[in-house]
Amino acid sequence: MAIRLIGTTLVILAAVAATALAGNRHGPLTFEGTCELSGLLRQSPPITNVPQPGSASARARGTCSGTLTGSRGVVRELDAARSTYFARASGSVSCGGGSATGSGVLRVGGRKIQFKFSEVRGPGTAAVQLKGRNGGSAAGTANVSADEDPAEIAQKCGGEGLSSAHIDIKLATTPAISG
């Protein structure tokens, strides 16, 4: 009888501890708003004028403004809050265009939103679509930065290939993204 009571007590204590730990974890985060970020896109292998399979990663920093809602319903208004963006994707691309899919993380208001990523590229620009891990979406554009030299990019695309370029990203949630 004592063994059964001790075993039952241990099971109850374990269940209470698991519930307490689960209550302390951050749940899904929802963001509704816009972001403007700048960073670097890296291509592997370097892209040329001929479409080929490859992978890319983009890292960018900037700001996001809008509403951030935590899993417990706490709402924070953000005005130009420091934000970061990271995405990895693979697909068939060239300097003239292509498409790619992957995943990434948007850190806004000190919190992370994980997403699936897809893009359709044209020369110097890409239409970007993010799907939140827990629902919602965001859409926008990624453009080659005005600081880049178009003649140098064209020369690399026609030769050894373009391995990296500075980019500017503009995103808007449609109507919100949760991750």
d(CA 67, CA 130) in angstroms, rounded, equals: 18
Residue 12 lies in a domain: no
d(CA 89, CA 131) in angstroms, rounded, equals: 14
140 and 168 Cβ atoms separated by less than 8 Å: no
Per-residue confidence of the chain (179 residues) as pLDDT tens digits? 444 434 433 333 333 333 333 333 456 899 999 999 999 999 999 999 999 999 999 999 999 999 999 988 899 999 999 999 999 999 999 999 999 999 999 999 999 999 999 999 999 999 999 999 999 999 999 999 999 999 999 999 999 999 999 999 999 999 999 99
Residue 21 lies in a domain: no
Residue 157 lies in a domain: yes
Using DSSP's 3-state secondary structure scheme, residue 28 falls into coil
Number of domains, the chain: 1
* Confidence (pTM): 0.83
Residue 16 lies in a domain: no
Residue 15 lies in a domain: no
Residue 18 lies in a domain: no
* Confidence (pLDDT) at 28: 83
Q: Which domain holds residue 111?
A: 26-178
Q: Between the CA of residue 124 and those of 28, 38, 109, what are the distances in Å?
A: 34, 14, 30
Structure tokens at 26: 């951050």
Residue 9 lies in a domain: no
* Confidence (pLDDT) at 26: 55
Residue 143 lies in a domain: yes
CA angle 115, 116, 117 (to 5 degrees): 110
